[in-house]
Amino acid sequence: MGDFEQFVTEQGRALLRTAWLLTGDWAGAEDLVQTTLTKTWDGWRSIQRADDPGAYVRRILINTHLRHNRRRWKGELPTEVLPEEPGRDEMGDSDVRHSLRVALAALPARQRAVVVLRHYSDLTEAQTADALGCSIGTVKSQNARAMATLRSHQALTGLLTTEATS
């Protein structure tokens, strides 16, 4: 059990930040991490023997997120006007962060996952493909589509460079 606790201590914040970028909100991110760590605990004996347990658990996190999005009611539409003002989150509420969060939330789940893994978690195309269980070509095309969509948001003009697309 000590190894699992140490793993959670070392990887927990990174998992939470990745989950936040995937879900767009802290409550959803916390739920996603909790579900991921429950699944991890169930298979910890074999997971801890993996070459890279962190990558293995990150894949569980992403697959759980993507599976949840497939099941979500398709009639649900995000609204631009919230019924009440949300509380301040840990990341702060700068205009750029807010714009980026809104733009990321508008991307399809797989494109969002590619952007988060490639540009936030700083994974290579091969590592991203492995984490998502797809080909490198799929990662490249999903990244290109996502970056084109993100570049079209006026609030992000100048923030995204051409280097960010590769």
Return all residues near 50 (Cβ < 8 A) that are at least 6 apart: 56
How far apart CA 116 and CA 135 sit, in angstroms, is 17
Q: How many domains does the chain divide into? A: 2
CATH number for 26: 1.10.1740.10
* Pair 34, 64 in one domain: yes
On whether both 128 and 166 belong to a single domain, the answer is yes
What pLDDT was estimated at residue 79?
Answer: 65
- Digit-by-digit pLDDT tens for the chain (166 residues) are 569 999 999 999 999 999 998 988 899 999 999 999 999 999 999 999 999 999 999 999 999 998 887 655 555 556 666 556 555 544 444 677 778 888 888 899 999 999 999 988 889 999 999 989 999 999 999 999 999 998 887 767 666 655 555 5
End-of-domain residue from the set 71, 103, 132: 71
**122: containing domain:** 93-166
Give a yes or no: residue 88 inside a domain.
no
Give domain status of residue 80, yes or no: no
Backbone angles phi, psi at 130, to 5 degrees: -65, -45
Rounded distance, CA 130 to CA 124, Å? 10
pTM (two decimals)? 0.62
What is the CATH number for 100? 1.10.10.10
